[in-house]
């Protein structure tokens, strides 16, 4: 396992909503026209304005308005939101440790975090939380924010929950001692066949390199020779983590990324001595939701001809953020530099037409047919670069994959969306597991047994459709016939997630995941690796 290089500042690569307006021209900092001018204005408002004014709120609005004039990813985070904003990257929070969903105005436990406070207290999947510290925990008032407010809390504090459990008379009371709860950045890691493993990373958090290496070591014990690394929908994270993940695939002293800005001299980030997966076929899955740190990793692996990139053009974020703490504890995540791939590519998409245009980019890609046909994408010669072997790649507007996989628009139609929106899947899965959980555990002790042998009977699927109708879903018979197998697989996967773990969901869905299936086809085609001059 490699050690990460130490860096003097923590840089962030994360996709946050922001605002954009190209800054025209440059003038040196003059206190009389900047800081003194603004502080004088605030003084005048506070002392002479006709009404009383919330000065801290006014200052926050001024900060937000100022950042709007910079780039899409320089953002302000108020003091009260700082901790919550950092959770996905820091990788932990303090609370009771459950995965839950709001089901019919009730808190339904999907699963306790293994080894967490709720797990230790005896909370089980399928339990419904009826009271929290004596207060009713059901009805219209129950929102995600309500749950967070009542169940999260400082390590060592206690919370009393009253649980309804099917088959047990009355409510069960549990006292849970809150603790630090880890947030996993790795969604899944399992073997797709005897030699090919699959790892899906949802963000580049502080602990991601450790999680990744644990997954690699586990897969190696199960015969791992080749790897499909899924970065679809991964919107970014820490630069140091992106460096560390890329480092596991590359040989020593190879440039992974470099950053540069007006006030940030060029800084190069290299691979170190040994990596955990330097040898073996490697395919990286990307799409339009792969941004920032995902683009650093995929761009570096493409530039060094280490991996075949499969999927669709990535988001296109080539800007580096650094957090700066303000006097009241709030934070500004300020763009301080641009990052470039090893070949010199800057893959930031344009942001000089305003925030709406910037975030409508995906809609424009769809209109132009890019999500279906890669031929609709055209890069100018001025953005042409070359990989280590001399292959042509392009900068500007994201990372273009080597092998294109079109968006499956037919599958994710309005009928499927309505089934999700009306809670049809959750209703069926929860009711089915309430009645069959013990029997399923006994019949399918291992996920492999479940994947191979669990099948939907026509009568069971009819019950699902009946539940959907009760929930107000209009059954689209054409869409139903077109996607029936996919819908059945989705339900099977959701049951598997509850019975086993998150890995199980992705393992069940893999046969109908076009990206994974395309990657498996490419993995078996040595000619593709040879044509692209990919190092194995």
Q: Which of 25-39, 259-273, 368-382, 467-481 comes out lowest in average pLDDT?
A: 368-382
DSSP H stretches of helix in 122-225? 144-151, 208-221
Residue 36 phi, psi dihedral angles, 5° rounding: -65, -40
| CATH homologous superfamily for the domain 92-182 | PDZ domain (2.30.42.10)
Q: What pLDDT sits at residue 17?
A: 38
Can you give the pLDDT at residue 263?
92
Residue 214 DSSP SS3: helix
The residue annotated as part of the active site, out of 317, 422, 492, 518, is 317
What mean pLDDT comes out for the span 183-195? 93
Average pLDDT over residues 53-80: 90
Task: Give the model confidence (pLDDT) of 13-50 as tens digits.
Answer: 444 433 333 344 567 778 888 899 999 999 999 999 99
CA nearest to 257, candidates 297, 217, 311 = 297
Kindly report, residue by residue over 385-441, the tens digit of the pLDDT. 999 999 999 888 899 999 999 987 766 678 988 888 788 888 899 889 988 999 999
CB atoms within 10 A of CB 21: 16
Known active-site residue 321: yes
Between 107-116, 180-189, 308-317, the lowest mean confidence (pLDDT) is in 107-116
Determine the average pLDDT of the residues in 162-191. Answer: 88
Instruction: Give the C-alpha separation, 324 to 90, whole Å.
Output: 16
Angle at 77 between CA 72 and CA 82, to 5 degrees: 135
Q: For the stretch 441-470, what's the b/e string if a residue is b when 16 or more beta carbons lie within 10 angstroms of its beta carbon? A: eeebeebeebbeeeebeeeebeebbebbee
CA distance 291 to 306: 20
pLDDT, mean over the chain: 88
Q: Which of 257-271, 373-387, 481-495, 497-511 has the lowest mean pLDDT?
A: 373-387
Give the span between the Cα atoms of 84 and 67, in whole angstroms. Answer: 21
Position 1 confidence tier, pLDDT thresholds 50, 70, 90: very low
Query: In the CATH hierarchy, which fold is given to the domain comprising 186-407?
Result: 2-enoyl-CoA Hydratase; Chain A, domain 1 (3.90.226)
* Residue 19 pLDDT: 37
Could you list the beta-strand ranges (E) of 114-201. 128-132, 135-136, 158-164, 172-177, 179-182, 186-191, 196-201
Task: Please report the pLDDT score of residue 493 as a whole number.
Answer: 94
Ranges of each domain in the chain: 92-182, 186-407, 414-516
Coil, strand or helix: which one is 46?
Answer: helix
Contact status, residue 400 vs residue 284, Cβ threshold 8 Å: no
Structure tokens belonging to residue 234: 């991964």
Return the pLDDT at 314. Answer: 94
Alpha carbon separation from 310 to 218, 231, 302, 532 (Å, rounded): 24, 10, 11, 12
Distance CA 362, CA 397 (A): 11
Q: Is 317 a catalytic residue?
A: yes
Least confident segment among 92-101, 189-198, 279-288, 432-441: 92-101
Q: How far apart are CA 299 and CA 409, in angstroms?
A: 27
Mean pLDDT of 295-316: 97
**How would you classify the pairing of strands 282-286 and 226-230?**
parallel
Confidence of residue 5 (pLDDT cuts 50, 70, 90): very low
Neighbouring-strand partners of residue 163: 129, 172
* Chain centre distance of CA 246: 18
Instruction: Please tell me which residue in 292, 298, 302, 348 is annotated as part of the active site.
Output: 292
CB 22 within 8 A of CB 264: no
Select which of 321, 343, 490, 535 is catalytic.
321
Provide the 10 A C-beta neighbour count for residue 478: 9
Residues 343-367 have a mean pLDDT of 81
Distance CA 140, CA 155 (A): 29
- SS3 per-residue string spanning 31-87: HHHCHHHHHHHHHHHHHHCCCCCCHHHHHHHHHHHHHHCCCCCCEEECHHHHHHHHH
């Amino acid at each position: 396992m490699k050690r990460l290089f130490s860096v003097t500042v923590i840089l962030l690569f994360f996709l946050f909503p922001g605002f954009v307006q190209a800054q025209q021209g440059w003038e040196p900092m003059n206190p009389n026209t900047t800081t003194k001018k603004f502080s004088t204005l605030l003084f005048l408002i506070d002392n002479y304005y006709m009404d009383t004014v919330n000065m801290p709120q006014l200052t926050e609005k001024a900060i937000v308005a100022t950042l709007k004039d910079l780039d899409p990813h320089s953002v302000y985070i108020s003091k009260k939101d700082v901790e919550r904003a950092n959770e996905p990257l820091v990788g932990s929070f303090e609370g009771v440790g459950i995965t839950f969903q709001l089901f019919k105005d009730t808190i339904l436990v999907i699963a306790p975090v293994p080894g967490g406070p709720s797990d230790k207290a005896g909370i089980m999947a399928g339990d419904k939380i009826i009271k929290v510290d004596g207060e009713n925990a059901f009805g219209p008032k129950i929102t995600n924010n309500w749950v967070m407010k009542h169940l999260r809390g400082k390590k060592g504090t206690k919370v009393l929950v009253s649980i309804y459990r099917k088959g047990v008379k009355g409510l069960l009371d549990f006292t849970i001692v809150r603790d630090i709860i880890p947030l996993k950045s790795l969604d899944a890691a399992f073997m797709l066949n005897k030699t090919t493993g699959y790892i899906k990373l949802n963000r580049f958090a502080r602990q991601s390199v450790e999680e990744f290496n644990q997954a690699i070591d586990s897969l190696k014990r199960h015969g791992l020779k080749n790897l499909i690394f899924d970065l679809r929908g991964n919107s970014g994270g820490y630069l140091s983590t992106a460096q560390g993940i890329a480092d596991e695939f590359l040989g020593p002293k190879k440039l992974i990324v470099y950053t540069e800005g007006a006030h940030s001299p060029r800084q190069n980030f290299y691979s170190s001595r040994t990596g955990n997966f330097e040898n073996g076929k490697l395919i990286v899955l990307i799409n339009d939701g792969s941004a920032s740190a995902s683009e650093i990793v995929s761009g570096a692996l493409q530039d060094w001809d280490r991996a075949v990139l499969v999927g669709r053009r990535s988001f296109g974020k080539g800007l580096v953020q650094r957090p700066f703490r303000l006097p009241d504890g709030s934070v500004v995540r300020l763009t301080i530099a641009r990052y470039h791939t090893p070949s010199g590519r800057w893959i930031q998409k344009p942001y000089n037409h305003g925030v709406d245009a910037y975030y409508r980019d995906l809609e424009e890609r769809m209109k132009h047919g890019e999500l279906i046909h890669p031929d609709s994408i055209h890069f100018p010669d001025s953005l042409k670069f070359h990989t280590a072997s001399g292959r042509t790649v392009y900068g500007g507007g994201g990372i273009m994959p080597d092998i294109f996989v079109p968006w499956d628009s037919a599958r994710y139609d309005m009928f499927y969306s309505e089934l999700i929106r009306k809670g049809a899947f959750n209703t069926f899965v929860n009711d089915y597991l309430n009645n069959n959980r013990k029997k399923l555990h006994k019949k399918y002790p291992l996920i492999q047994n479940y994947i191979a042998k669990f099948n939907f009977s026509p009568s069971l699927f009819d019950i699902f459709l009946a539940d959907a109708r009760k929930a107000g879903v209009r059954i689209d018979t054409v869409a139903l016939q077109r996607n029936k197998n996919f819908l059945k697989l989705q339900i099977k996967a959701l049951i598997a997630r509850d019975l086993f773990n998150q890995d199980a969901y992705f393992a069940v869905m893999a046969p109908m995941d076009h990206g994974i299936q395309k990657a498996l086809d490419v993995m078996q085609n040595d000619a593709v690796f040879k044509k692209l001059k990919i190092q194995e």
